[in-house]
A and B are shown apart, each in its own frame.
Chain A
Amino acid sequence: MSQQSRISGGLIDRSQTHSFTFDGRRYEGHAGDTLASALVANNVRLVGRSFKYHRPRGIFTAGSEEPNALVELRSGARREPNTRATAAELFEGLEAASQNWCGSLRHDLLAVNDLFSPFLSAGFYYKTFMWPKAFWERLYEPIIRAAAGLGRLSGLPDPDSYDHGYLHCDILVIGAGPAGLAAAMQAGRSGARVIVADEDFRMGGRLNAETREVDGMAGAAWADSAVAELAAMDNVRLFPRTTVFGVYDHGIYGALERRTDHLRDGEDGPRQVLWQIQAKRAILAAGAIERPIAFPGNDRPGVMLAASVRTYVNRYAAAPGKRIAVFTNNDDGWRTAIDLSAKGIGIAAIVDTRDTEPLTDIPGAAIVMGGRVTATRGRHGLRSITLAGGRTIETDCLAISGGWNPNVHLTCHHRGRPEWRDDIAAFVPGPELPAGMTVTGAANGTLTLGAALADGHNRTSSTLMGLGFRSGGAQPPRGDDEAASVSAFWHVSPGKGRAWLDLQNDVTVKDLKLAHQEGFRSVEHMKRYTTLGMATDQGKTANVPALAIMAECTGRTIAETGTTIFRPPYTPVPIAAFAGRSRGAHMRPVRLTPSHAWAEEQGAAFVETGLWLRAQWYPRDGETHWRQSVDREVVQTRNSVGICDVATLGKIDIQGRDAAQFLNRVYANGFAKLAVGRARYGLMLREDGIVMDDGTAAHLSENHYLMTTTTANALAVFRHLEFCRQCLWPNLDVHLISVTDQWAQYAVAGPNARKLLSKLVDQDFDISNEAFPFMACGEITVCGGTRARLFRISFSGELAYEIAVPARYGDAMIRALMAAGEEFDAVPYGLEALNVMRIEKGHVTGAELEGRTTARDVGMGRMVSADKDCIGKTLSQRPVLVAEDRPVLMGFIPVDRSQTLDAGAHFLSSGVAAVTENDEGWMSSVCHSPILGHAIGLGFIKRGRERVGETVRAADPLRGKETLVEIVSPHFLDPEGERLRG
């Protein structure tokens, strides 16, 4: 029979039936059910096995605090382990499976662990498996690891999509129970911008689970009307299925919205959205969570929290038992008996730990005041309970109520400490709340309905006034205050058998006492040693009873014992939600040069350099190895002409009356006298005297310069210049703006470079060697009037130019250059050939200017002008930076010319051990020089300039390689620079 435990009433939609499977068996439920409530309606009591002892476990709660009913939800790549059945909304076709068993759920072979429980007590892995020592890593640990864990991950990429977003509001209301809705109404009516977030799919909180009235209406109906009114307000946004999981700085709250978890696979956009909510004020109305009482055998399926039993009956019309007993230390437990009895469910007994008068009489129920439950029976589900004194009562569901814990979690995210209140025997938020947060209702210890409604209303009024809004309405919603007296009764003792505290981690009262006995007396130590309060539920039901027992052990009060620190997230947040849309290729932005589309057409191999994708080489048909492509590009460039996209270099437009002086101060070499129409190589030092970057500055017109930087340092240099301009020399008239993306720029290098460019540069402009010599620059036009800039600068050592056009012409320009170069057999060359040519020429890049080297180290000591000051000059003269034996830049070639070289190798003299003490320097850049026909390298070696011709060892212990190399000049090719001036 389907849904045999379904009863009348409730807030489910019986017109919509959803079929679902649990452990492969088909069941039916309704819209408005959770997986847990549908299982209750179908009388499924055993839903999982416990973590350590594999004890049979059932549904314990009706909310996100659930420690027991963890299932694997969905299948295939979408299988998600450790999902709380109590928080999973039912949908048509839902598939769920129990977890953490071997064999079957009913007959779990690993239940044998329970027999060995004396060996598996708190901290057992620190004690039990100590001998023999060698067994730990090889035997014990693998076995324990294999047995540990609950559900299984799919092991497949997550097929769902996730997103993130940013929200802003005046007031964020966290929780839409009675206090939260009263707060939201008040805030909404004031005109403030309000966000209401609630983890449930149906707003209303406990109102949906109770039979109480608000403003003369059924509580759930009042909640519906409040939600409808809020939904109609333009200034209010409602976020059901949204958990505010963390409080961060400056009023930022983290929230996870589960948008499609309640739908079938992959429907309708991102599954979950991670929101950053920036709120001027937050009203925390997170409610309270009921806590259990520990007693022997309290973990059997059928033992549930009393208010959760009431939730299943009132909200979901599902009866967790036919004959229910209540074990309580407070008035609220009686409400469960009253509500259930009104629904016609048999009440077997009410056992109240307090020796007082019964609150009411329930027909047919045994009322036991001052009673204790001392044992339970029933292997896969509760059959009976035994009371102190030996009386046994037949029951299939025991509803336990140990009082309510205000949800203080979010109040502690800025290190606030909760305070103990004796009158409700619970922790409430302390005085140090996150800035802008107000706590109301049950979360603040106001546990009765009428008071919570008024509290939500009144505290919001004060908050609104603080923000300058008028109050939304004069009167709070009305509700009665129920009886809510509670006693501080935590566990039944002494008792025979194990009394469970943390159901998820299988921690018992005895474990806690053992931890104390072994010296773990701080609550934080207790938590780590016993694992109480860890895992997905973070001990939401277990913590306070555990603290009470800790307090008993130490002879302190609970207030003195204190709580462990609450940290985000409040409930688990999938890593996928944190990643959001930043997955795969979209993890970070990509920057493309203007010739990218053309380079793709050529089949270029690309390499990531920072965010840029740069062409590394351009393979041609028949080339099977990258070296073939690179060698060809180098040889062809040196023999005729090659073209390289250099748009990635940083370009900074510098203008102002004091621009020249500014450059003179930021560069180590002089710029004061650079003529208009000329460019100059510039070396920039950090304040500490180390080289920061190099590049060129071109003097375009009076008071107007264009600086280029290396690709990697474009941003760092710009930031440095802004700092200099704004903070060091605010009186200078200098203006900076990046033009990196404004210009497409191509290096045209090789003996035929001028001939090629002459075909494109408009006739008005003379680019002959005389009119446009080495280091000339100027504004020109190309291809019949298109704006361009030409710079005669050379990184390759060849006769070379860099030509720039506005980026929108960049694609056309590379095609024009290649077309014009056809008669010279021009080649495009990539980053790799560029690198080979600059090593051949002895030019430095980031491999040499790597943040530890000085101008002197790289052979440019004389560039640091003696005639002027510049940033870094003073500190570059520190003794350690001018020491004679500092490694300096030199060239290296293998003694056996057939050998290759490795960057990162360290130089050693012959006959010494490869240890740090004997280190003489390192190889920074290497390549095969197709022009010289062998490997060459640049590197730093002590007193290198005195040692030309000497042979040293290039030792590379990482690769297990050692090569004999000869120290040579770093300028392998055309040291006099005749080619580039040609």
Chain B
Amino acid sequence: MADITLTAREPFDGIRLETQGVTLSGVTGKALVSAAIPNGGEARFAKSLQAAYGVSLPAPGATTLSRDGATLLIGLQRDQIFLMFDRTDDWPERSVSGKLGDATCVTDQSDGWVMARIAGPRCRKALERICRLDLHPEVFAEGAVARTLMEHLNVIIWRDGAESCQLLSPRSSASSFLHALETSILNIRQSGTFQLLT
């Protein structure tokens, strides 16, 4: 029966918050797919990655943008990467396995996480309230990625620009994660206006 259709609802849809030197915005509409490399299939995986995305396998802790700029490859562990690209349907892992071959173990992770981008000259100051990692550009350079904890929450963070980071955290605790980010941004404000735009 098709008279009921399901409408997607994203916890970070429309989130936007601006204050002195920091902008926080929700990122939605992205597909996120994990790809695990089969034991013994490393060479074949690297080859198909090169063929499909024009780049080599990112090491754990590094991100790489595909040659066409459409897919971000996120190196998370020895035998696993995440791929992020614009979502077009409910089966994003199929397009990845189509490119990397059936032997690759792909899993849709798009709805398991919420994503936010924090940017601006003071974004590092806001993050240092909750992030234990050293985000100094000499230590955590553009393109670097790490798994960490913020306020007890699992977070994947990567630096996508000189003064910006992207953050992934589990969807079920999105409200707590948003609170942690908002509080951090609020707590570094100097006297002045603060706008919460949603």
Contacts and interface: CB of A to CB of B under 8 A. Distances in A.
A582 B139 CA distance: 29
Interface string B108-126: 1111110000000000000
A741 B170 contact: yes
B90 to A, nearest CB: 4
Contact of B112 (A165, A270, A740, A810): A740
A808 B128 contact: no
Contact of B107 (A273, A586, A611, A655): A655
A655 B113 CA distance: 20
A589 B153 contact: yes
Interface string B37-80: 01110000000000000000000000000000000000000011
Interface in A769-805: 782-784, 786-787, 805
B105 A656 contact: yes
Contact of A819 (B4, B8, B128): B4
Interface in A160-205: 161, 163-168, 193
B6 A783 contact: yes
A760 B134 contact: no
B197 interface: no
A733 B38 CA distance: 6
A703 B177 CA distance: 35
A956 B5 CA distance: 53
Nearest to A582: B151
Contacts of A741: 111-113, 170-172
Nearest to B139: A168
B79 A735 contact: yes
Nearest to B113: A741
Contact of B6 (A593, A647, A786): A786
Contacts, number: 154
A427 interface: no
Interface string A895-918: 000000000000000000000000
A165 B129 CA distance: 4
B196 interface: no
B5 A783 contact: yes
A591 B173 contact: yes
Interface residues of B, number: 55
A801 to B, nearest CB: 16
A104 B136 CA distance: 56
Contacts of B88: none
Nearest to A590: B176
A611 B190 CA distance: 33
Contacts of B163: none
A657 interface: yes
Contacts of B173: 589-592, 611
B91 A787 contact: yes
Interface in B133-167: 133-134, 136, 139, 151-153
Contact of A784 (B5, B108, B110): B5
Contacts of A386: none
Contact of A737 (B109, B132, B136): B109
Nearest to A647: B172
Given A168-B136, A733-B40, A741-B113, A820 B4 contact: yes
A589 B2 contact: no
Range, interface on chain A: 35 or more
B163 to A, nearest CB: 14
B90 A816 contact: no
A760 B4 contact: yes
B36 interface: yes
A735 B10 CA distance: 28
Nearest to A782: B6
B95 interface: no
A747 to B, nearest CB: 18
Given A589-B151, A786-B90, A806-B90, A735 B36 contact: yes
B191 interface: yes
Interface string A736-750: 011111110000000
A762 B172 CA distance: 28
Interface string B1-42: 110111111100000000000000000000000101011100
A543 B79 CA distance: 58
A759 B1 contact: yes
Nearest to B134: A168
A760 B2 CA distance: 7
Which residue among B79, B112, B131 has the maximum number of chain A CB atoms within 10 Å of its CB? B112
A803 to B, nearest CB: 12
B111 A742 contact: yes
B48 to A, nearest CB: 17
A976 interface: no
Contacts of A811: 9
A806 B39 CA distance: 29
Interface string B69-107: 000000000011000000000110000000000000101
A27 interface: no
A806 to B, nearest CB: 4
Residue among B9, B136, B177 with max Cβ neighbours from chain A (10 Å): B9
A812 interface: yes
A859 interface: no
A270 B187 contact: yes
Contact of A193 (B8, B40, B128, B136): B136
A166 B128 contact: yes
A270 B174 CA distance: 24
Given A269-B189, A592-B172, A737-B36, A742 B108 contact: yes
A273 B187 CA distance: 10
A637 interface: no
B112 A269 contact: no
Contact of B111 (A163, A273, A806, A819): A806
A586 B108 CA distance: 31
A806 B110 contact: yes
Interface string A261-274: 00000011110010
A611 B172 CA distance: 10
Nearest to A731: B39
A593 to B, nearest CB: 7
Contact of B109 (A267, A582, A739, A812): A739
A581 interface: yes
13 contacts: A166-B131, A270-B187, A589-B151, A656-B39, A704-B105, A737-B36, A741-B111, A741-B172, A759-B1, A760-B4, A786-B90, A787-B90, A807-B112
The 4 closest A-B pairs by CB, nearest first: A787-B90, A735-B36, A589-B176, A655-B105
Given A581-B183, A592-B175, 8 more contacts: A163-B129, A591-B173, A592-B174, A656-B38, A657-B39, A740-B112, A741-B170, A743-B111
Interface of B: 1-2, 4-10, 34, 36, 38-40, 79-80, 90-91, 105, 107-113, 128-134, 136, 139, 151-153, 170-177, 179, 183-184, 186-191
Interface of A: 161, 163-168, 193, 267-270, 273, 276, 278, 581-582, 586, 588-593, 611-612, 647, 653, 655-657, 703-704, 731-733, 735, 737-743, 758-760, 762, 782-784, 786-787, 805-813, 816, 819-820
